[in-house]
């Protein structure tokens, strides 16, 4: 499996609080700066620095256990893994860093890692499919979201002929896959809303 995904599961260790896990993953694996993490988690710089310090301390004390977890433990860590990928995609979708409004490289990396989760039967869960559907729907409108000068184009002014129909179709497939089972997550709800925004 992808080395970055394996490390993400390793960092999401139960000895670390969920938000601490996400903060550390965004910092180490995704290359986020402190300001980017504060924007992603809607937290203060002080709170983020404390989370990172605490997470690193806990990891040092659990160093012998910091390894790719087994099947049962991977399921238990999926919530933190999906949250990290969700926030990674969000930073790409609307960036408040590096003087750019979109960072498609981050968004596409989030899609790539989420797709890897889908290809593994152990992590191919309804919520994983819902998150991937959400990403596909939003990414499909990337070509129409900014003009030649790099300025945002509001939704109702976008040229829908520029929308990526292949990504929309993929999103519909993953949203259908997400309907299996009886779990309803925020990703299901957001993906359903994002779908209708591709049906202008």
From first to last of its 200 residues, what are the pLDDT tens digits of the chain?
588 888 888 888 877 888 888 888 888 877 888 988 888 888 899 999 999 988 888 777 765 566 787 878 888 889 989 998 998 888 887 765 555 566 788 888 899 999 999 998 989 999 999 999 999 999 999 888 888 877 788 888 888 999 999 999 999 999 999 999 888 999 999 999 999 999 87
Q: pLDDT value at position 35?
A: 87
Q: pLDDT value at position 1?
A: 56
Instruction: Decide if 136 contacts 111 (C-beta within 8 A).
Output: yes
Indicate the pTM of the whole model: 0.84
Q: Taking Cα atoms as reference points, which of 21, 163, 40, 147 lies closest to residue 81?
A: 21
Q: Is 146 helix (H, G, I), strand (E, B) or coil?
A: strand
Q: pLDDT value at position 199?
A: 87
Q: pLDDT value at position 5?
A: 86
Count of positions (residues) in the chain: 200
Exposure letters 65-88 (e unless 16+ CB within 10 A, then b): eeeebeeeebeebbebbbbbbbbb
Instruction: Decide if 108 contacts 139 (C-beta within 8 A).
Output: yes
Question: How many Å apart are CA 48 and CA 78, to the nearest integer?
Answer: 22
Cβ atoms within 10 A of the Cβ of 144, count? Answer: 17
Structure tokens at 191: 């993906």
Contacts of 11 (CB under 8 A, 6+ apart): 21, 24, 25, 28, 29, 59, 66
Strand partners, 152: 146
Q: pLDDT value at position 193?
A: 96
Instruction: Decide if 195 contacts 175 (C-beta within 8 A).
Output: yes
Tell me the C-alpha to C-alpha distance, in Å, between residue 16 and each of 13, 62, 77, 149: 6, 10, 11, 43
């Amino acid at each position: 499996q992808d080395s970055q995904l394996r490390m993400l599961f390793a960092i999401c260790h139960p000895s670390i609080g969920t938000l601490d896990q996400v903060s550390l993953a965004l910092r180490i694996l995704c290359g986020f700066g402190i300001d980017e993490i504060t924007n992603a988690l809607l937290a203060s710089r002080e709170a983020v620095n404390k989370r990172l310090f605490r997470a690193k301390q806990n990891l040092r004390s659990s160093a012998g256990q910091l390894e790719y977890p087994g099947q049962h433990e991977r399921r238990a860590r999926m919530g933190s893994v999906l949250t990290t990928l969700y926030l990674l995609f969000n930073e790409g979708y609307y960036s408040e860093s590096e003087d750019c409004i979109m960072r498609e490289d981050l968004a596409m990396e989030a899609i790539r890692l989420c797709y890897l989760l889908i290809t593994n039967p152990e992590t191919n869960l309804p919520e994983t499919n819902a998150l991937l559907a959400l990403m596909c729907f939003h990414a499909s409108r990337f070509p129409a979201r900014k003009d030649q000068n790099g300025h945002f184009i509001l939704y109702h002014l976008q040229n829908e002929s520029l929308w990526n129909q292949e990504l929309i179709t993929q999103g519909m497939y993953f949203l259908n896959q997400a309907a299996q089972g009886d779990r309803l997550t925020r990703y299901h709800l957001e993906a359903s809303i994002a779908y209708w925004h591709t049906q202008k």
